[in-house]
Structure 1
């Protein structure tokens, strides 16, 4: 009696794809979520957060609000509101700040902000069901803000439309930027990420804040690479943003983005999962299904992790499946260059072995090699541009 066969474990949805992470705050959490789904992650933070306790501008605005308490306070994030109160405690004015804010009408943009307001001993008077800054603005304008002083705790990005609308309605707005983002002290990881994008080694680039997007473009401009980066992000990379505010600097230069229905990290990763199939290319080859991903390939649903050389050869063959590719053209993509076409034969033998021995690649005597395409079956997906998995030290 033969032993029962064990079903192969399902391939993680992001296996074979390289995802770039530009975030500073919660970058480790995002990277872990992506890796659990099989992605290879390259981290190149494009911003850093100035610690609240060291932020002289925040301290100045806090003391100003204590001296002249606001009529209305808008808390946009729980972590931001809590950090503001903790920073004020560190400056010795925490109780004075809570007393000043307690004299105002406190609005919470969402449940996390509401929870931190209550944890600090204050009580909110209103919170929108949508967690939307636009709904907060509509509520304030309906209530009337002429002549009123409004403190708006920002959530990492400026809110120019909200602030301008309130000021046009007659309010005095005090913006409270509880995190301030600047360029990283070490620019090398961000530069490496940009270089990998330009080399075709990143399949997906993620953004969780507008300053991160703006900073990446600004740094590329400093290096004379801005136009090249914009072209790569338009044509070769899936750009995923946590929400519309984050996407704004990218869409301003016509870079298409994908966003989740709710501006949450988990929702962004789930959106990426749903978009991942569009990044793969599926080919009917010699009675098998070949699926090319960024730095790996699936043969009949089984993941085959190939070295960069093997993937480079396979991508060249897949650009024109079924057509013969000469040894000279294949030699051009091998590392080190040279003119010894026997190197192609050696690399091709390793590629065939990595694919599991199936006769997916045919040798055409004196001409070259081709994929054994089943011409009656359709191919699915984009032409492979793909990437490669970078070393873990880039995390």
Structure 2
């Protein structure tokens, strides 16, 4: 069982993509120093569209928590790549829910994303701290969706889950399960529905049961997943 650790980094478990024309910058350092995993998608450059396509797919699947888009050309490349990968609608849904944060550096970038019906937060200044502040504001000050549960407030991130202020790292399969359960908001999810959320080919009822067991083991004493006999599973959302 992977031990939980106190959330000493505000962006622990967050995967962030920076779409820019250069491969390095201070923004990477600012975000990674807070615990985020950061990578750059450099545009425009040879092969850039190929690199953005997988990034868009990962964002649509919940494997990316934030995309920071630094220029109008990068915004156009991002939207086009998501469209070509048949991921644009999923990106729209995740951005609308707050589960995926899209940060536009400047009004021109924001306009390009809004033309594609993508919800975006705007960083008014090009200085890296402005974009970093927008990300921190989203994930630390209530912008990211969270749910009250029997174990405390729960927020799903691509690398795990924050439960009552403690980050618990999880496998990709476990994140996919907890993400689906959190999206349902306490509604019972059948094994077939959860199987559809699992990555990879193993989506049988037995595979779902095994994945739920591993998720519970990783969560330790935190009881977040309830079994509903003959129906499926639900997140232990506190009744309000």
Describe the SS at the equivalent of 2:139. Answer: helix
- Return the offset for 1:352: 0.7
Describe the SS at the equivalent of 1:319. Answer: helix
Match of residue 264, structure 1, among 106, 124, 127: 127
- Return the offset for 1:198: 3.6
Distance verdict in 2 for CA 1:259–1:288, change over 3 Å: closer
Q: Which residue of 2 aligns with 1:282?
A: 146
- Return the offset for 1:233: 7.9
**Is this contact kept in 1: 2:52–2:77, CA < 8 A?**
no
Q: Which ranges of structure 2 fall in alignment gaps of 5 or more residues?
A: none
- Return the offset for 1:21: 1.0
| Cα distance in 2, alignment partners of residues 226 and 268 from structure 1 | 24
* Residue deviations 1:92-115 (CA, integer Å, cap 9, x gap): xxxxxxxxxxxxxxxxxxxxxxxx
Q: Which residue of 2 aligns with 1:209?
A: 71
Q: Which residue of 2 aligns with 1:343?
A: 207
Matches within 5 A, 1:97-246: 184-187=45-48, 188-218=50-80, 223=84, 228=89, 231=92, 235=96, 237-246=100-109
Q: Which ranges of structure 1 fall in alignment gaps of 5 or more residues?
A: 1-7, 48-183, 377-395
**Is this contact kept in 2: 1:11–1:301, CA < 8 A?**
no
- Return the offset for 1:254: 4.4
Distance verdict in 2 for CA 1:269–1:202, change over 3 Å: same
Larger radius of gyration: 1
Distance verdict in 2 for CA 1:249–1:356, change over 3 Å: same
| Cα distance in 1, alignment partners of residues 88 and 156 from structure 2 | 28
Q: Which residue of 1 aligns with 2:196?
A: 332
- Return the offset for 1:264: 1.3
Higher mean alpha-carbon deviation, 301-310 vs 190-199, is at 190-199
Describe the SS at the equivalent of 1:362. Answer: strand
Q: Which residue of 1 aligns with 2:155?
A: 291
**Is this contact kept in 1: 2:75–2:109, CA < 8 A?**
yes
**Is this contact kept in 2: 1:217–1:226, CA < 8 A?**
no
TM-score, with structure 1 as normaliser = 0.51
Q: Which residue of 1 aligns with 2:18?
A: 21
Higher mean alpha-carbon deviation, 223-232 vs 357-366, is at 223-232
Query: RMSD in angstroms over aligned alpha carbons?
Result: 3.0
**Is this contact kept in 2: 1:16–1:297, CA < 8 A?**
yes
Q: Which residue of 1 aligns with 2:32?
A: 35
| Cα distance in 2, alignment partners of residues 328 and 37 from structure 1 | 37
* Residue deviations 1:307-350 (CA, integer Å, cap 9, x gap): 111111112222334433222332333332353x2322221111
TM-score, with structure 2 as normaliser = 0.79
| Cα distance in 1, alignment partners of residues 58 and 151 from structure 2 | 35
**Is this contact kept in 2: 1:279–1:293, CA < 8 A?**
no
| Cα distance in 1, alignment partners of residues 147 and 217 from structure 2 | 19
- Return the offset for 1:299: 1.8
**Is this contact kept in 2: 1:233–1:239, CA < 8 A?**
no
